């Protein structure tokens, strides 16, 4: 009976966790990894080491990872103003990363013309602004993680 009660308390508390640093750490690290992975895909495309299709697919997969992390954070509840502020800041950072990932995915997939488009070695210079956006989004989340004491 006591074991059943303990399990129920665990289930109920996991459904609405407080957005403590510990509860946010996993989603924040996932979103950070997604942004960095997409930046790496863009860099590879800029260097001509991958195709547009491969980069676009990677960006789309990372967008799904950030969507999942966002849902995890939305599943937490704030017990005080500081927790609410942290949760709101995390969600705002995730939104910035999501936008950057969408822009990267779309830029990687966008036809630039010519028979070589999408192939390794075609001109991907239009990706530089996207790469800058990804770096800014990553820096925003890194600053928030540092502020929250997450390494």
11 part of a folded domain: no
80 part of a folded domain: yes
Conformational region of residue 149, where left means phi above 0, alpha means psi within -120 to 50, and beta covers everything else: left
CB 19 within 8 Å of CB 87: yes
**Residue 45 sits in which domain range?**
22-148
Our CA angle for 20, 70, 68, nearest 5°, is 115
CB 53 within 8 Å of CB 19: no
133 part of a folded domain: yes
| Residue with tokens 């500081």, as numbered in its chain | 82
CB 51 within 8 Å of CB 120: yes
Total domains, the chain: 1
For the chain, 151 residues long, the average pLDDT of each consecutive 10-residue run is: 42 49 92 97 90 93 98 89 90 98 91 49 75 97 93 80
8 part of a folded domain: no
Task: Report which of 25, 17, 23 is spatially closest to residue 147, judged by C-alpha positions.
Answer: 25
1 part of a folded domain: no
Q: Determine the pLDDT at residue 8.
A: 40
Q: Determine the pLDDT at residue 24.
A: 92
Q: Determine the pLDDT at residue 83.
A: 84
């Amino acid at each position: 009976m006591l074991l059943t009660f303990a399990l129920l308390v665990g289930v109920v508390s996991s459904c609405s966790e407080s957005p403590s640093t510990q509860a946010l750490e996993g989603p924040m690290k996932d979103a950070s990894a997604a942004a960095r992975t997409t930046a790496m895909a863009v860099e590879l495309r800029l260097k001509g080491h991958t195709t547009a299709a491969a980069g676009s697919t990677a960006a789309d997969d990372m967008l799904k990872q950030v969507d999942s992390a966002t849902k995890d954070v939305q599943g937490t509840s704030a017990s005080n103003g500081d927790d609410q502020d942290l949760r709101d800041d995390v969600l705002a950072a995730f939104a910035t990363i999501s936008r950057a990932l969408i822009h990267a995915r779309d830029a990687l997939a966008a036809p630039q013309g010519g028979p070589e488009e999408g192939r390794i070695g075609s001109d991907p210079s239009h990706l530089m602004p996207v790469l800058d956006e990804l770096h800014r989004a990553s820096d925003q989340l890194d600053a928030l993680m540092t502020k929250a004491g997450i390494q």
